[in-house]
Amino acid sequence: MADRTLIRNARIIDGTGSPWYRGDVLIDDGCISRIGTDLPREAADIVVEGADRYLAPGFIDAHCHDDLIFLREPDRPEKALQGVTTIVVGNCSFSLYPAVNKSRENLRQHFSGLLGHTEDREIFDDLQSYRERLEGQGIALNLVSLVGHAALRLAIVGHDRRHASESEINAMCAMLDVQLSQGAAGLSLGLVYPPSAFADMTEMVALARVVRRHGKVLAAHIRAYEAGLLPAMEEFADILRLSGAAGLLSHLQSAGRPNWGQIPVALDRLEAMRQDGVDISFDMYPYPAGSTWILQLLPPATMDGGLEALKKRLEDPSYRELLRRWVNQGGPEFEGQSKVSLIGWENVRLSAIDIDALKNFEGLDMQAAAERLSVEPFDLMLRFILEDDGQTGIILFQLDEEDLKCACCHRLYMAGSDGLPRPGSRPHPRAFGTFPRIAGPLRRDRKWFGIEDAVRRMTSVAAQRFSLLDRGVVRPGMAADLVLFSDDIADRATFERSTEMATGISHLWVNGRAVIVDGRLTGIRPGRVI
């Protein structure tokens, strides 16, 4: 049984947005037992003095890609030291399950593109087997999982660039139904990531109706964040209208300088959708750069048939030259805008490289790396695709600070790191700093939020969206996921030193047990798959 813990005289931020107040909180049997003032010390085994620090619900990372790293590093120190008690994985169509025999290798390769080499033993038949592995080894934080659309499509349709047949759609719906019955929080689409990108409206609405029947959420990396942002938003809204599902638009942004300034219009459209009865909100990370992997510099159509099919097509000189023109300049040959044509090779930074011969280029932009090799950036990109199996991680400096502020200060916003953890690389700093950045510098120095509003966006807003009915608020009877932090909380990770741990978190409780005490990890693993 967990020790009874009394937190005395803290500045309590309850997660609703209401003003903080001074009080005591008693934790008993994994839950918040009492809240008051001058609660008796003898009611607890452990007493922690608030000492003018804030006590808030544990932060919820509404959008991340920690699916794989949770299996390998279950203590999740960089998340715990940000005050995070619950993370949501399975985003952007990427989950480690469900797999059938014929799809296991394809799903393994697909996931390897995003997060580096993935082992066959790290691919699972269903959510239940993933849960059993995680809870069997113990996890420090709670995990919520969405079902990745790509896993469904790979299991039933494969990598083919085509519409699914009626029978295939029915099979995907049945597979999704099983995962949701096992406790998955919903479904995620990744409409720029093949094979999810190959789905049509009929398929997506059918799957969304299964989500709606279970009362879960449909999350979507929509089809475009560049010039096509608004039409892509409308496509997602149509799916929600036709299905009745609740929706979460992943990492709302307007990418590429020619497209800056779209966010106020996009937010007006979201409000209009809600007026029209569409249940939609969004998440975003508080940084002006995003992160992905190198295949995302190509149009989705190039991945018809998968990575090996792409490599085969790249043997054709005329095909390579067609891609060279489109990647460098954009054009009508493929749908959408080329990221490179919008931001330039100098704004594509190499963050994760698995092959030794090119590892030393991590941290360089593609223009600088290519110059060192006396080649064109496009040819270096091809080398990464061919030699690194398209698994090279990149950071894209593509967003406007004013757009970012506008999105993060909107009432529908919830916080998500969108981190891509790959140990031994130079990842985007968002994986190490998102939550202290919001509660610290963006609140204190830039005045984006008041402290109560900052906490609300990191707690109750996400808890409501994912139906975490016993979390996200400091209230008697709720699960004791709590964070005690000082007013000087801050992120330390930068794009140059991206793995620096955050500061300011004194204590962290997950399901009533202390994961951090006096700023140090305890090694206890009280987390659950919820």
Q: Return phi, psi of residue 323, to 5°.
A: -65, -40
Average pLDDT in the 481-500 region? 97
Dump pLDDT digits (tens) for 128-144. Answer: 999 999 999 999 999 99
Residue range 491-511, pLDDT digits in tens: 999 999 999 999 999 999 999
Rounded CA gap, 219 and 295, in Å?
22
Q: Place 43 in a pLDDT band, splitting at 50, 70 and 90.
A: confident
pLDDT at position 392, please? Answer: 96
> CA-to-CA distance for 340 and 325, rounded, in angstroms?
11
Compute the distance between CA of residue 217 and CA of residue 466 in angstroms, rounded to an integer.
Answer: 7
Can you tell me the distance from the alpha carbon of 522 to that of 39, in angstroms, rounded to the nearest whole number? 26
Q: Whole-number mean pLDDT of the chain?
A: 97
The string of pLDDT tens digits covering residues 67-110 is 999 999 999 999 999 999 999 999 999 999 999 999 999 999 99
Q: In which residue ranges of the chain is CATH 3.20.20.140 found?
A: 60-288+399-466
Q: What is the pTM of this model?
A: 0.97
Q: Is residue 195 reached through a cis peptide bond, with omega within 30 degrees of 0 on the bond before it? A: yes
pLDDT for residue 3: 80
| CATH architecture under which domain 60-288+399-466 falls | Alpha-Beta Barrel (3.20)
Topology of 5-57+475-488+501-521 in CATH? Urease, subunit C; domain 1 (2.30.40)
Average pLDDT, stretch 36-49?
94
In the chain, % of residues over pLDDT 70: 100
Cβ proximity of 68 and 122 under 8 Å: yes
Query: Can you say whether residue 78 is alpha, beta or left, with left for phi > 0 and alpha for psi between -120 and 50 degrees?
Result: alpha
pLDDT at 371: 98
pLDDT at 319: 97
At 272, the pLDDT band (50, 70, 90 cuts) reads: very high
Instruction: Read off the pLDDT of residues 416-474 as tens digits, 9 standing for 90 and up.
Output: 999 999 999 999 999 999 999 999 999 999 999 999 999 999 999 999 999 999 999 99
Query: Nearest to residue 102, comparing CAs of 144, 156, 50, 177?
Result: 156
Taking the C-alpha atoms of residue 104 and residue 110, their distance in angstroms, rounded to an integer, is: 10
List the single range of 29-33, 113-117, 236-240, 516-520 with lowest mean pLDDT: 113-117
Comma-separated ranges of CATH 2.30.40.10 domains in the chain: 5-57+475-488+501-521
Whether 240 and 278 have beta carbons less than 8 Å apart is answered as yes
Instruction: Say if CB 217 and CB 236 are below 8 A apart.
Output: no
Task: For residue 1, name the pLDDT band (cuts at 50, 70, 90).
Answer: low
Contact of 29 with 2, CB cutoff 8 Å: yes
- The reported pLDDT for the residue numbered 30 is 97
| Average pLDDT for 477-482 | 98
Tell how far CA 424 is from the center of its chain: 20
Question: In this prediction, what percent of the chain has a pLDDT beyond 90?
Answer: 98
Compute CA distances 79 → 24, 131, 314, 317, whole Å.
26, 19, 40, 46
Statement: residue 2 has pLDDT above 80: no
As beta bridge partners, residue 265 has: none
The per-residue pLDDT for 314 is: 96
Quickly state the pLDDT bin for 252 (edges 50, 70, 90): very high
